[in-house]
């Protein structure tokens, strides 16, 4: 073990290294009726110090974080049934004008990911669907209905970007072209 980072919260749901690896983010389930601080925490990699715990102010947990492949932004999947867009540079501001809505999370740890070229954002949905969003407009451009159970992950193949893998809560995995 090289370093230990202590958030002093209940559970860490996801982690995301920011470009250059000097900082990383964690999402937690530390949301209460009165406060949403500590939902997303930024950490300094070298010192293990918290940089910020005031990044996301809404009262939803964020089960999944993903980094844009070319731009300095990241997306957080929220249990509020939308994807929130943030700057990946301090002070990590949320883009209040752009939300990716239409899919459902409903308590599942639904993942999200950008296409390798960064033009699409894909996410599963608790109703078994997969949603494809235009990254720039935040509009749904396509949906698939591949699963009977909650679709908890949809990821692009790292070498063959026309292939997409999806999986559901029951363990079924499908590959799409």
Look at residue 51 and tell me if it is in a domain: yes
Look at residue 3 and tell me if it is in a domain: no
Based on the number of CB atoms within 10 Å of its own CB, is 137 exposed (0-12), middle (13-18) or buried (19 or more)?
Answer: exposed
Look at residue 163 and tell me if it is in a domain: yes
Q: Report the predicted TM-score, pTM, of the whole model to 2 decimal places.
A: 0.90
Q: What percent of the chain has pLDDT over 70?
A: 94
**Residues 45-63: pLDDT tens digits?**
999 899 988 888 888 889 9
Look at residue 32 and tell me if it is in a domain: yes
Q: Provide the CATH number for the domain around residue 138.
A: 2.130.10.10
Name the residue range of residue 47's domain.
12-176
**Residues 9-29: pLDDT tens digits?**
678 899 999 998 999 999 987
More confident residue, 54 or 128: 128
* pLDDT at res. 35: 57
The average pLDDT across 101-108 equals 94
Look at residue 144 and tell me if it is in a domain: yes
Q: Is the pLDDT of residue 3 over 90?
A: no
Look at residue 7 and tell me if it is in a domain: no
* pLDDT at res. 31: 57
* pLDDT at res. 38: 60
**Residues 140-162: pLDDT tens digits?**
999 999 999 999 999 999 899 89
Cis peptide bond prior to 96, omega within 30° of 0: no
Look at residue 81 and tell me if it is in a domain: yes
* pLDDT at res. 169: 95
CA distances from 82 to 24, 102, 112, 133 (A): 22, 7, 11, 11
Number of domains in the chain: 1
| Residue 37 binned pLDDT confidence (cut-offs 50, 70, 90) | low
Q: Is the pLDDT of residue 112 over 60?
A: yes
Look at residue 115 and tell me if it is in a domain: yes
* pLDDT at res. 33: 58
């Amino acid at each position: 073990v090289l370093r230990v980072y202590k958030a002093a919260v209940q559970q860490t749901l996801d982690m995301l290294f920011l470009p250059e690896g000097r900082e990383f983010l964690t999402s937690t389930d530390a949301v209460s009726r009165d406060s949403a601080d500590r939902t997303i925490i930024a950490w300094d990699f070298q010192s293990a110090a918290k940089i910020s715990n005031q990044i996301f102010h809404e009262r939803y947990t964020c089960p999944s974080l993903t980094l844009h492949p070319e731009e300095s932004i990241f997306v957080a999947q929220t249990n509020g049934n939308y994807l929130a867009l943030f700057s990946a540079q301090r002070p990590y501001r949320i883009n209040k004008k752009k939300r990716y809505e239409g899919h459902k999370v409903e308590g599942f740890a639904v993942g999200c990911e950008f296409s390798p070229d960064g033009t699409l954002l894909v996410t599963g949905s608790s109703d078994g669907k997969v949603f494809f969003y235009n990254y720039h407009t935040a509009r749904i451009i396509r949906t698939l209905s591949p699963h009977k159970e909650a679709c908890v992950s949809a990821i692009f193949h790292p070498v063959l970007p026309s292939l997409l893998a999806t999986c559901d809560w029951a363990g079924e995995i499908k590959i799409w072209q």
